[in-house]
Each structure stands twice: as structure tokens, then as C-alpha cells.
């Protein structure tokens, strides 16, 4: 019988469709005794999972419920196979990304502030904002009170499953999509990361949806922000450390760019951090994948991997092979 540890925060009802031949063992960071398991499905909150790890014995396979697994290798070591939940968060994260782009182009943060103030005439602040962002001081009538996504150029930095889903959702807006990943590919054209500086000045919207690695840390810094178009939008749906936070704060305060962030560095963002008060910035507290569909979709992915593991088939979403 394969012993499978699962987050004690989840009801056992979620595991009704898991394969036969397993014993489900609840795992908590509050455990006071060691637990012997073969497979571990960690708590989605990494801090709780890391606290639970010292009590686990015999783990050979980790099935993460998340797409990002950057904390797991350093916790469990090289002798454990690790699989991520590839594909489980495509829809939710892509929807957040498209929503964030539209919210910023339609000036929703400004209009929410206007709503709370109860002053209708403040709507004309949108015209001033647009002029400042793009350096276009021409008087227009009717006044500019928002921007359009249709026809914009979008640079996707990272072109895995979520990047492809973002592109699919953006297609009705007739945008031009530029794609960048670690290696160049064709059909569709994907540029290598070495082309980043060439592509940044061409984009109205830059979307970060790449994994957190040593190479991606600080990928967007002072130099890259300076290369972006005046008033361009930076959207980070990846990981906070991909962006140099100090450089972003400086660029936002200077009015060079605007940004929408679901992730920050540091995270959680502490009280009083400069990002909280930056202009032209939308922050959500790492909620992009947190929908009612998250748990069942992630667990279906884990259940499929377990069936493969039990029958000796190759696992699909391996990010680390045990040594």
C-alpha cells in the first residue's frame, strides 16, 4: 500500500477520485511525531510545508499542487523526485493577467479612487494621467478617459503553458504578440532571452510569466525598465524576484512605466514598503491562481501522476529526477 501524505488543511473528500492502492495520511506543520510516507503532496503554503518536512520520513516522490516548485529542492534534497502541477493554473493565472492589463489600460485604480471620493468631475484626471504617461499633451475632444488593448503589442517573457494560455485569451483583441523564452523556437516564433533588450522597446505591455531561477532573478532591472516605451505596462504574474524592486520603484515614481503585480519582492509586502505608495501601480497579494477551481484541478493533476507512479509509467511533470 502506497502511503500518500496530503495537507491536513484539506478535507479527505477532495481525494475521492484518487487511485486505489494508496493510504492517505494527513500531514500538518503542527505534528509532534514523525510520519512515514512514500509520496508527499505539500501544503500549497510553502511556509507550512517547510515546517512539516522535518517530521516526514521515507519520501520518494513530491507532487506539488503549484506550478512553481523553487522552494522544494532545497527542502527535500536531491534524492527525491519532484513533479509540479503543470497546467493546473493556466486558466486562473491567464485570466488574472488579462484582467490586470485591462484594469490598467482602463484606469480602474484611478476610477476606484474617484468612486470612493464621490466626486464625478475628477474623471478628467484620467486625461491628465494619459498625457503624463505618454508625453502627449495635445488637447483631445472628447477627452481621453481610458486606453484600448486592441492593436497593442504584447511581449510575453516566458512561453510555457501559462504563457500560451495568456496568448489564447488575448487573441480576440487582435494584439501583436512577441514571445521570449530561454531558447529560441519556431512555429510560433519564440525569441531567445538574449533578445530581451531588442524586444522591450517594441512592446506596449510586458508580461512576466517565467519560472523563478538563478538566471531569471533580477531579469528586469534599471537597464531593462529604461528600454521600455514611455508609459508601457509591466505585468508580473511570475515571481517577485524576477523584477528588481528598487529599480521598479524608481521607474514608477519617475513616471516612466506603470505596473500590475500579483507578486512582489519581498513577499508578503511589509507595511510601509515604498511599493504601496507608488503611482500607476496595481498590486494584488499573490491571488492569481486562487480560485474555486484551484484545488480540484491541482489534485486531478496529482492523481494522474499517482496512477502513473503505481503502474510504472513515466511521470509527466517531473522537474527534478531523484539521484
Which one is catalytic: 86, 89, 239, 258? 239
283, 248 contact by CB (below 8 A) = no
Could you tell me if 60 and 39 are in contact, meaning their C-beta atoms sit under 8 angstroms apart? yes
Is the distance from CB of 284 to CB of 267 less than 8 angstroms?
no
| 217 flagged as catalytic | no
* Among the listed residues 53, 58, 89, the one whose alpha carbon sits nearest the alpha carbon of residue 74: 53
Q: Where are the alpha helices (DSSP H) in 53-186?
A: 72-76, 90-105, 108-117, 125-134, 161-170
Dihedral angle over CA of 231, 236, 240, 244, nearest 10? -30
Q: Which helix (H) or strand (E) holds 22?
A: strand 22-27
Task: For residue 257, give Cα distances in angstroms to 81, 134, 233, 234, 253.
Answer: 41, 9, 6, 7, 9
Q: Which residues contact 73 (CB under 8 A, 6 or more apart)?
A: 82, 320
The DSSP call for residue 287 is -
Look up 185 and say whether it is catalytic. Answer: no
Distances (CA, A) of 280 to 2, 72, 283: 52, 35, 10
Q: Which of 267, 273, 300, 308 is catalytic?
A: 267
> Which grid cell is 322?
531523484
Pair 49, 6: CB distance under 8 Å:
no
Q: Would residue 286 show up in a list of annotated catalytic residues for this protein?
A: yes
192, three cell numbers: 531567445
Cα–Cα distance between 320 and 96 in angstroms, integer?
Answer: 28
The one catalytic residue among 253, 286, 300, 308: 286
Q: How far apart are the first and last CA of the chain?
A: 24
Name the residues annotated as catalytic. Answer: 239, 267, 286
Amino acid at each position: 500500500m502506497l502511503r500518500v501524505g496530503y495537507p491536513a488543511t484539506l478535507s479527505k473528500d477532495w481525494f475521492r477520485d484518487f487511485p486505489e492502492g494508496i493510504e492517505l495520511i494527513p500531514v500538518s506543520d503542527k505534528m509532534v511525531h514523525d510520519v512515514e510516507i512514500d509520496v508527499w503532496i505539500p501544503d500549497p503554503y510553502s511556509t507550512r510545508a517547510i515546517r512539516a518536512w522535518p517530521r516526514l520520513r521515507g519520501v520518494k516522490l513530491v507532487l506539488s499542487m503549484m506550478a512553481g516548485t523553487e522552494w522544494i529542492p532545497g527542502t527535500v534534497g536531491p534524492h527525491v523526485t519532484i513533479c509540479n502541477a503543470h497546467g493546473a493554473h493556466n486558466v486562473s493565472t491567464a485570466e488574472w493577467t488579462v484582467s490586470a492589463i485591462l484594469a490598467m489600460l482602463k484606469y480602474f485604480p484611478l476610477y476606484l479612487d474617484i468612486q470612493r471620493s464621490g466626486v464625478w468631475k475628477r474623471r478628467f484626471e484620467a486625461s491628465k494621467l494619459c498625457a503624463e504617461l505618454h508625453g502627449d499633451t495635445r488637447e483631445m475632444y472628447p477627452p481621453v478617459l481610458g486606453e484600448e488593448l486592441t492593436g497593442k503589442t504584447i511581449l510575453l517573457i516566458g512561453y510555457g503553458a501559462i504563457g500560451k494560455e495568456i496568448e489564447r485569451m488575448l487573441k480576440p483583441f487582435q494584439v501583436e504578440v512577441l514571445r521570449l523564452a530561454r531558447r529560441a523556437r519556431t512555429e510560433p516564433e519564440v525569441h531567445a532571452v538574449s533578445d530581451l533588450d531588442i524586444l522591450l522597446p517594441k512592446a506596449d505591455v510586458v508580461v512576466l510569466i517565467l519560472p523563478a531561477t538563478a538566471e531569471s532573478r533580477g531579469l528586469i532591472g534599471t537597464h531593462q525598465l529604461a528600454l521600455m516605451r514611455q508609459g508601457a505596462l509591466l505585468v508580473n504574474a511570475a515571481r517577485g524576484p524576477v523584477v528588481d524592486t528598487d529599480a521598479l520603484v524608481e521607474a514608477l515614481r519617475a513616471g516612466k512605466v506603470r505596473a500590475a503585480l500579483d507578486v512582489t519582492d519581498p513577499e508578503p509586502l511589509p507595511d510601509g514598503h515604498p511599493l504601496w505608495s507608488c503611482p500607476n501601480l496595481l498590486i494584488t497579494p499573490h491571488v492569481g491562481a486562487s480560485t474555486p477551481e484551484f484545488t480540484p484541478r491541482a489534485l486531478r493533476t496529482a492523481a494522474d501522476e499517482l496512477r502513473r507512479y503505481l503502474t510504472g509509467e513515466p511521470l509527466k511533470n517531473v522537474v527534478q529526477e531523484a539521484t
